[in-house]
A and B are shown apart, each in its own frame.
Chain A
Amino acid sequence: MTAVLETEGLTRRFGRLTAVDDLNLRVEEGDIYGFLGLNGAGKTTTIRMCLRLIWPTAGRVRIFGKDLRSSFISIMSQVGALVELPAYYPHLSARTNLEILRVLSPGVEPARIDEVLRLVGLAERADSSVKTYSQGMRQRLGIAMALLPRPRLVILDEPTNGLDPQGIADIRNILLDLNRREGVTLLISSHLLHEVEVTCTRVGILKAGRLVEQETVQAILAKAGTAVRIEADPAERALGVVRAIPFVEGAESDGNGAVTVRVPPERRAELNAELVKAGVKVSAFVPQQMTLENYFLSR
């Protein structure tokens, strides 16, 4: 597969703080790449470096196989981006905001503005000034701006921020449609792990500025394996018992009397026996498929 975006040893330091450390990211053509990490993990700094909004301390970025530094203009004519909160001129209408961007995007015809406004569901309010928009509408406008130049690569930082469930589903469908029908590659940073799980094909997990995982979603879920949700009395004792069992891969309490235990399926019966032997009363023992969220939190 061809890499659409790759970073080599990308590093950014702010004084003594290393925000991004030796990052080797690889987004392949056709990917919907989920970029995950806790707040402050370095996601937005990485995205800003990939758009040359922040200068890296070391390393380089290649997009479409070209060096970002030397081929910035030709690369950026094929990239759409929404970085953090959507930015717009509040006293202007959505149409005028898009027109400003259209003028700066050679080859984009005026009709494209109506197209993206319809796509994100803003056609009816296209001529109202943006300051009268709700947060969700502003987010939709930000996405419309990213999609305006018919990009081959779209970089979206928290694209569903402030959207209601219907809005999230709409944006998910738009992005999936773009990816499937037009082959647009997407790099999406998000905290909504369920969204990432159902939307993305590949994820990268960033922790304290370092990339700790970069895999397809399927591979990660396979690696995450299955778990068992145990309701037991007393739950604290159950947690202590399961953590002491050597074949248990991980265990967390939900704080409401249930414990989620990662254990190979063939050893579930042994786990139950150990709990009973330890005098723990088990009232429920429910096998579960681990989600991306469970896996992310266990990293």
Chain B
Amino acid sequence: MAGRVFRLTRVELTKLALHPFFPIALLILATLTLLGAWAFEPKTTVWSGPHALLLFALGAKAGLKIAMFLLVIFGSLSFAGEFDKGTVRLLLTRPVTRTELFIAKSLTGLALAAFYFAVVMAISFGFGCLRGDLGPVWDGEQGLILSSADGISAHAAKAVKMSIAGVLAAVFLGIAVSTFVESSGFAVAIALTIFIGADLGLGLVREEQTRYLFSWYPAYAFETLRSFAEGSSTLWRPAAESPVNLKLFRLPTPWLWIPAVSALVCSGVGYVMFRIKNILA
């Protein structure tokens, strides 16, 4: 089974790399990440530029939001695109099982999510280093160190760690939708509506409840990093990182378990739908 999953994943990665939307999406992601950092870049004073990690946070926050949109789109195309073209028949009439195909598509989605995450991190950090200064966070007016270099670096590492699971989870929302919608256009439309709808819905619920949505964590993490890099006395919210003690077991920190549970639920639904589906495409 492992050999077949490996071969399928190789095929899926090849198809992804040769997909016409792949370079376009990469260009959009890179441009908007840069734009996110550049457009909100604070004014440079005579003796001090903005902190590099402030620019990094601005770029990463914008870039990861775009990356999640793109991952929802690519996830939606994963099965629906095969149904659309009828190529699912090609794949399933080879010596591979549906389970193996689903695993390969999921691994490819995860690889793409990790790649996008790395691209956003590299571009925003590169831009930050180019235009800003590393080191401690200064109070420009009074010449005080508000946060040491080690302190702000630790916050940046925490923001990166806190946001990765949310980004990875986004692809599974698209995959789940794509297993029961046979038109790629519809699949993308439905998945994006769910994603954007859930995001907009965050504005309607109490702040404490927003943390139950996986897409909240990347934005929260880099918004908090931005505050730290501006010298604000913001604190990380305990509700976003404290483990939850249930009667029988203890859940890890919400930034990990909420995206993980979202991804598991989406992939579980997607797997069952694909497994029982009659391929009429």
Q: A74-B95, A76-B95 are in contact. Are A103 and B10 (CB under 8 A)?
A: yes
Which residue of chain B has its CB nearest to the CB of A53?
B279
Across the interface, do B95 and A77 meet the contact criterion of CB distance under 8 Å?
yes
Closest chain A CB from B258 CB (angstroms) = 35
**Residue in B10, B14, B276 with the greatest tally of chain A CB atoms within 10 Å:** B14
Instruction: Indicate with 1 or 0, residue by residue over B246-281, a CB within 8 angstroms of chain A CB atoms.
Output: 000000000000000000000000000000101110
Query: How many residues of chain B are within 8 Å of chain A by beta carbon?
Result: 28
| B93 adjacent to A89 (CB under 8 Å) | no
Stretch in contact with the other chain, from B84-92, B125-133, B175-183, B198-206:
B84-92
Q: Inside 8 A of A55's CB, which chain B residues have their CB?
A: 276, 278
| A103 contact from B11, B19, B280, Cβ within 8 A | B11
Whether the Cβ atoms of B92 and A51 lie closer than 8 Å is: yes
Q: Is B2 interfacial (CB 8 A cutoff)?
A: no
Cβ < 8 Å to B, chain A residues 90-108:
90-92, 96, 100-101, 103-106
Residues of B within 8 A of A79 (CB): 93
A48 lies within 8 A of chain B by Cβ? yes
For chain B, residues 1 to 39, give those with C-beta under 8 angstroms from any C-beta of chain A.
Answer: 3-4, 7-8, 10-11, 14-15, 18-20
CB distance from A69 to the nearest CB of B (A): 11
Give Cα A101 to B7, complex, Å: 10
Q: Does A88 contact B (CB under 8 A)?
A: yes
Cα A32 to Cα B220 in complex, Å, equals: 65
Q: Is the CB–CB distance between A101 and B86 below 8 Å?
A: no
Asked whether any CB of chain B lies closer than 8 Å to the CB of A85, the reply is: yes
- Chain B 95-134 residues near chain A, CB threshold 8 A: 95-97
| B237 interface contact, C-beta 8 A | no
> Does B43 lie at the interface of the complex (its beta carbon under 8 Å from any beta carbon of A)?
no
* Contact between chains at A104 and B279 (CB < 8 Å): no
* Docked pose: A264 CA to B242 CA in angstroms: 92
Task: Report the minimum CB–CB distance from B32 to chain A (whole Å).
Answer: 25
Q: Which residue of the partner chain A has the closest CB to B10? A: A103
Q: Is the CB of B97 within 8 A of A81?
A: no
Tell me the smallest distance from the CB of B281 to a CB of chain A, in Å.
9
B interface with A by C-beta (< 8 Å): 3-4, 7-8, 10-11, 14-15, 18-20, 85-97, 276, 278-280
Q: Which 7 A-B pairs have the closest CB atoms?
A: A87-B86, A53-B279, A104-B94, A77-B95, A76-B95, A54-B278, A81-B93
